[in-house]
Amino acid sequence: MSGARRRPGTAVRSATTQPSPTRLWGWHRLRPEWAEQLVSAAGLGPGDLVLDLGAGDGALTAPLAATGAQVLAVELHPQRLARLRERFADHPRVHVLGLDLLDPRLPARRFHVVANPPWSLAKPLIRSLTDARSRLIGAQLVLQRGLVADFDRRGAAGPGARARFRAEYAASVPRQAFRPSPPGPAAVLQLTARRGR
């Protein structure tokens, strides 16, 4: 892949993938004050590795980098990816990756996730993050409120996922927290590994 460093344990699907006419490229950017709030609640610092999945143009990437953590910002949309690469080209702790979130490979070392990912991919994404081989420590995912409430009630889906991760409704996020506003309200789903992974 050109322009982005490849990390062990992460997969790279073509960064030149073109938006397909059937692919949903919805983009509800988090407003800066909400992005800051989400990042500050994650309690990250130097030495941590955090993934921003579906990074857009970096609404969360920038405050995540300001914590001192190492940030992997994943985006597939060609223009957003290009903008992201340009914006963080000189940042020593931000690595921009042209990955498809549907690719299940994850970092080989322990990691966190703080993200406002594409809501349509929430279920496969959570399945992959809570997989038995995943080294996820904790995730904060901004998703549709109803879905977050479901996860809070039923726990993480997928074989054995409930035994490995707690899934909780952590906070409500109003439609006004995004630009443009999504059709319905959102919430933060907190996933926490039950044991060190």
Ligand X SMILES: C[S@@+](CC[C@H](N)C(=O)[O-])C[C@H]1O[C@@H](n2cnc3c(N)ncnc32)[C@H](O)[C@@H]1O
112 binds ligand X (CB under 6 A): no
85 binds ligand X (CB under 6 A): no
CB of 104 to ligand X, least distance (A): 12
Instruction: Please state the closest distance from residue 194 (CB atom) to ligand X, in A.
Output: 27
Ligand-binding annotation for 54, yes or no, is yes
Considering the complex, what minimum distance in angstroms separates the CB of residue 182 from ligand X?
8
Which of 4, 10, 15, 28 contacts ligand X by CB under 6 A? 28
By beta-carbon proximity to ligand X, the closer residue of 29 and 135 is 29
Q: Return the residue of 39, 74, 113, 141 that touches ligand X, per CB under 6 A.
A: 74
Has 3 been labeled as part of a binding site?
Answer: no
Q: From the CB of residue 113, how many other CB atoms can be counted at a distance below 10 Å?
A: 24
Residues in the chain: 197
The answer to the question of residue 175 lying near ligand X (CB under 6 A) is no
In the block, residue with structure tokens 């990042």: 39
Told to check if 101 binds ligand X by CB under 6 A, we report: yes
Examine residue 138 and tell whether it contacts ligand X (CB under 6 A): no
Token pair in block for residue 189: 């789903």
Q: How far is CA 102 from the centre of its chain?
A: 12
Rounded to 5°, the CA angle 10-15-19 comes to: 125
Is 75 flagged in the annotation as binding? Answer: yes
Of residues 59, 113, 114, 129, which one binds ligand X by CB under 6 A? 59
Size of the site for ligand X (CB under 6 A): 22
Binding-site ranges for ligand X (CB under 6 A): 25, 27-30, 54-56, 59-60, 74-77, 80, 100-102, 116-118, 121
> Which residues does the annotation place in the binding site for S-adenosyl-L-methionine?
54, 75, 100, 116
